[in-house]
Copies of this chain bind each other. A is one copy, B any other.
Amino acid sequence: MTEYRTVRVALLGAGSVGSQVARLLLANGDELAARVGARLELAGIAVRNVDAERDVELPRELLTTDAESLIVGADIVIELMGGIEPARSYILSAINSGADVITGNKALLAAHGPELFAQAEQVGAEIYYEAAVAAAIPIIRPLRDSLAGDNINRILAIVNGSTNFILDRMDRFGDSMEDAQKTAFELGFLEADPTLDVGGYDAAQKATILASLAFHSSVDPEGVYREGIEHITAEQIEAARKAGYVIKLLAITERITAEDGTAGVSARVYPALVSREHPLAAVHGGNNAVFVEAEAAGPLMFYGAGAGGVQTASAVLGDLVSAARRHVAGGPGLGESTHADLPLLPIGEVVTKYQITLRVDDRQGVLAEVATVLADGGVSVETVEQTIESTEDVPTAYLVIGTHATRERALQSTVTALNASGVVESVVSVLRVEGV
């Protein structure tokens, strides 16, 4: 077993993840060869600029700007460039030249996954993408293989470390949204343009990937509902804490039934109230966690670092070992299973609990009037709390209403009705309660 055959690996991209992949691959060659039963030869690293400064020093002779030539003749292509093009074209080239592909490109998979998986299936290639969701945390393989004999009901996931860091700062240190974002930026948790993270776009890409995988269906990213955390205030965080909740940006996907009886899938991203008793509430800082509710297995949670070059490189190398073993062993890949073909249902069809905070006049009868509007809208009340705050001797009354499980469509039209009724001064906040 000392005479190994060689598996040729092409690496596209040498950013924070790619350079760590190259470093670990070069440093651990013998150990990886023993695990795979073949030598993993790093044939080259395609970069935009050979002379760019890098965190990790890479052998100059491996660097090339000619990605296409590198792809030709590679057994396995690792794409860590990010972005849609040229990543998409390179992956298609790799597949068509008979290589298996490993990618951490969530944007590409969310937007073009079905196209890439179909092409791979046609030629018997495999696409591995453990690094695309929750960085180092093994979640793709557990969903695809370990839970392959079970049925997943719901996934609630913290998949964006930046927003978790921000919300956690606000919760634990009382920071304002502005201050928390500033700290996140200073500590490297947030890009100069925070929109992708703060706006929930990154989480929505991951929700798309998780939904497709968990429910064996092609999910259109345009149909994934998305709200960011930009409007969350320190007051909401504080009120949540008092009520026993923490606010987390969740990527959620679940099997649901529409009002007309259609069975389908929901995929959505928004800041939600989560009970402090829930395991997701204990996920602090930039960490990620994926909470899976399966029919037979019950609740499971996968927890770990949600970002970082070397952490994400671990997931890429795990995929590389799997791909190389398959290369040595032969046999077709598994492909992506979309046999269930469930439709993606709109946010209006989602059934969950809500917490509605209303500013009302401090007079008798208000509660009864509000209750009537809610009842007319089909919203059933579980809890009500009335509080009075006085600023400069002017009292303001608030009603905090917890609802029973309600369909989003009914809830939204009822909120509209409340606003129009003249009964309330304003609707201060509507938050969904998840994990119950």
Residues on A facing B (Cβ under 8 Å): 20, 24, 28, 31-32, 34-35, 130, 136-138, 141-142, 145-151, 216, 279, 282, 294-305, 308, 310-311, 313-322, 325-326, 329-334, 337, 339-340
Contact = CB atoms under 8 A, between A and B. Distances in A.
B321 A149 contact: yes
Contacts of A339: 34-35
A297 B31 contact: no
A294 B308 CA distance: 14
A151 B138 CA distance: 14
Contacts of A333: 329
A134 to B, nearest CB: 10
Nearest to A300: B304
Contact of A311 (B24, B298, B304, B305): B298
Given A136-B298, A298-B308, A149 B337 contact: no
Given A141-B142, A302-B302, A331-B330, A31 B296 contact: no
Contacts of A321: 145, 148-149
B147 A318 contact: yes
A322 B148 contact: yes
Given A28-B151, A32-B149, A296-B314, 4 more contacts: A34-B337, A137-B300, A149-B321, A298-B304
Contacts of A28: 149, 151
Nearest to A298: B305
Given A35-B148, A151-B31, A317-B150, A297 B301 contact: no
A141 B145 contact: yes
Contacts of A294: 136, 314
22 contacts: A28-B149, A34-B340, A35-B337, A141-B141, A141-B145, A141-B146, A145-B318, A148-B318, A149-B321, A279-B282, A282-B282, A296-B310, A296-B314, A296-B317, A300-B302, A302-B303, A303-B303, A325-B334, A329-B331, A329-B334, A330-B331, A331-B331
Contacts of A299: 304-305
A146 to B, nearest CB: 3
A303 B279 contact: yes
Nearest to A142: B138
Nearest to A282: B282
Contact of A216 (B35, B151, B297, B313): B35
A298 B14 CA distance: 21
Contacts of A216: 34-35
